[in-house]
Amino acid sequence: MTSKLTLSELNLQIKNRLKNSFPEAIWIIAEINEINENSKGHCYLELIEKEGQTDSIIAKARATIWAYTYRLLKPYFETTAKTKLQAGLKVLIQAKIEFHELYGYSLNIKDLDPAYTLGDMARLKMETILKLKEDGVFLMNKELPEPYFPSKIAIISSKSAAGYQDFIHQLKHNQFGYIFYTRLFPAIVQGNDSPESIIHSLDQINMHISFFDLIVLIRGGGSQSDLNSFNNYMLSSNIAQFPIPVITGIGHEKDESVCDMVAHHNLKTPTAVAEHLINSYQNLESYSQDTKNGVVAGINQILKTEKNNLDLKGRQLVPLLMNSLLKESYHLNNLSGKVRQIYGRDVHNKHEKIIEYLGHFNSLLKEFLLNSKYKIFSGSKNISDAIRQKINDRHHQISIAEKTLQLLDPVNILKRGYSITYCDGEIIKDSKKLQKGKTIFTKYAQGESESEVSKIK
């Protein structure tokens, strides 16, 4: 009959055999699943290993870093790895295997290798980039055309984030008086839960995709470890494939996340994002003014060239007519001399008469030439006056058109006391489209309000 052992005796034998099999601390690769620090400074962890293809957990163990060791290891690890010691990190630990008769098997961590964690984070980031490129989506959002008037902005941020407050203040108090409509879609923007939360906000925006011009993903500054969630594959893939431009401003000066890489634009801070939107309006306004000045200058140059051509043709026509008349006069004089030679004195009187007629003809011809010259110069002046009048008329028409555009500008209409009401992302023009209990948004020249429909007339 086999010998019988009590549970404590069995546990003691397991403890002794583990101690004999693993007399020294060994290096172990694992992922932190849970981590907690108690009031005495001890750190308790749950370590796991996942299967590569299915991501399912295939091994699990408890681990402890006692307070004295934890006070030394934590700052060293976080300073070197540039990330917090937190759940989700893959770590290389040196641990002593222990077995307690009452509490069972655990690992007593003696050391952590930050170089391994750094390399694993870089590897995961590169794997995300390569997978997005293999999927053919890495540049999709960048290739979208940026809107000319990005006035309707969907914002993904934490409502309490300082970066969100800075962004709104910069946008609403710009020195040019540009008006932007903004709507916040709250999300968690740091930690392990942030990818899923941001994707949820993207899904909400997608329900009103035709209303918004672009999305702004912003947050305040944070530690290097907070950037890890923005290297997440699913989050990066959603941003890359979103059908309207996404601009990021997630507050990191030295590093660039995968979300930054796939976004339409990436800027370092929320304030820089606001400046980018304001500058897009200012650049468009400058371009419009330059285009207008170019058109006016082109018209003036064409009119000036045509006037010079008319003046030149007028100056060329007068000498040609004078030369023609002089040739005819010379020809008549020669003809008169020949007649006198042929007919002699008998035709002298007739010759004198001809000379008289010629003189009269010359006088009439000179008068005709002078009148023609006057008419040519008068016609040239009339043409110049007509051109000048045409220019003035065009300037007047342009001025009227500018004033009309200014009157029709929604900004000026709002400044005259009117407002715009939206419901479900659409502008309301007929009260029949409203329903009791619906939330409506009203936009004024300065600010906006949110209200609920209680009565419809």
For 335-383, write each residue's pLDDT tens digit: 766 656 665 555 566 667 767 766 776 777 677 777 767 776 676 677 7
Looking at the structure, tell me whether residues 190 and 255 fall in a common domain: yes
Give the β-pairing of 43-50 and 26-37: antiparallel
pLDDT for 344 equals 57
Whether the predicted model's global pTM rises above the 0.85 cut? no
As a whole number, mean pLDDT of residues 293-299 equals 65
CB 262 within 8 A of CB 138: yes
What does residue 61 show for φ and ψ, rounded to 5 degrees?
A: -155, 150
Q: What is the pLDDT of residue 60?
A: 92
Arithmetic mean of pLDDT, 161-181:
87
More confident residue, 94 or 412: 94
Say if 257 falls within a structural domain.
yes
Task: Reply yes or no on whether the pLDDT at 38 is more than 90.
Answer: yes
Residue with tokens 């010998």: 3
Please report which confidence band the pLDDT of residue 282 belongs to, taking 50, 70 and 90 as the band edges.
confident
pLDDT for 21 beyond 80? yes
* C-beta separation of 151 from 213 below 8 A: yes
Is residue 372 included in any domain, yes or no? yes
Q: What is the pLDDT of residue 119?
A: 79
Residues 163 and 257 in one domain: yes
Tokens matching residue 358: 């010629």
Structure tokens at 39: 């009031």
42 three-state secondary structure: coil
Provide the pLDDT for residue 241: 95
Q: How many domains does the chain have?
A: 4
162-172 vs 270-343: helix crossing angle, rounded to 10: 30
Residue at token pair 């930054």? 260
The verdict on 179 and 261 lying in the same domain is yes
Whole-number Å distance between alpha carbons of 183 and 205: 10
Q: pLDDT at residue 196 above 90?
A: yes
| Same domain (yes/no): 93, 156 | no
pLDDT at 326: 75
The pLDDT tens digits of the residues spanning 236-255 come to 999 999 999 999 998 766 67
Distance CA 151, CA 130 (A): 34
User: Is residue 143 located within the same domain as residue 20?
Assistant: no
**At which of 77, 112, 147 does a domain end?**
112
Q: What is the CATH number of the domain that holds 32?
A: 2.40.50.140
The range of the structural domain enclosing residue 440 comes to: 413-452
Output the pLDDT for position 195.
92
Q: Which residues contact 200 (CB under 8 A, 6 or more apart)?
A: 187
pLDDT score recorded for residue 454: 86
Kindly report the average pLDDT of the chain as a whole number. Answer: 82
Measured distance CA(63)–CA(151) in Å, rounded: 53
pLDDT band at 443 (very low <50, low <70, confident <90, very high): confident
Q: Is the pLDDT of residue 212 over 70?
A: yes
Q: Rounded CA gap, 182 and 216, in Å? A: 10
Contact 436, 455 (CB under 8 A): yes
Question: So what's the pLDDT on residue 73?
Answer: 92
* Selection from 250, 239, 215 nearest residue 128 by Cα: 239
pLDDT at 426: 84
Say if residue 233 is in the same domain as residue 196.
Answer: yes
**Residue 390: band (very low, low, confident or very high) from pLDDT cuts 50, 70, 90:** confident
Residue 286, pLDDT score: 59
Domain assignment present for residue 443? The answer is yes
| Distant-in-sequence, close-in-space partners of 62: CB < 8 Å, separation ≥ 6 | 44, 45, 46, 47, 104, 105, 106, 107
Q: Do both 292 and 262 map to the same domain? A: no
pLDDT greater at residue 450 or residue 119? 450
Q: Does residue 276 form part of some domain?
A: no
Asked if 103 and 139 sit in the same domain, the reply is: no
* pLDDT band at 185; cut points 50, 70, 90: very high
pLDDT at 108 > cutoff 80: yes
- Determine phi and psi for 71, rounding to 5 degrees: -65, -30
Which of 110-114, 159-163, 216-220, 305-309 comes out lowest in average pLDDT? 305-309
- Clarify whether residues 60 and 94 are in a common domain: yes
> CA of 302: how far to CAs of 86, 362, 381, 387, in Å?
72, 41, 17, 10
Secondary structure of residue 451 in the 3-state scheme? strand
> CA-CA distances (angstroms) from residue 279 to 163, 284, 362?
19, 8, 75
Phi-psi group of 136: left, alpha or beta (phi > 0 → left; psi -120 to 50 → alpha; rest → beta): left
Whether the per-residue pLDDT at 154 is higher than 70: the answer is: yes
Structure confidence at residue 236 (pLDDT): 95
Q: What is the CA radius of gyration of the chain?
A: 45
| Concatenated DSSP letters of 184-237 | EEE---SSTTHHHHHHHHHHHHHTTTTT-SEEEEE-----GGGGGGGG-HHHHH
- Is the same domain home to 91 and 215? no
pLDDT exceeds cutoff 70 at 296: no
Please indicate, yes or no, whether residues 53 and 153 belong to a single structural domain of this protein. Answer: no
Same domain, yes or no: 142 and 240: yes
- Is the pLDDT score of 145 beyond 80? yes
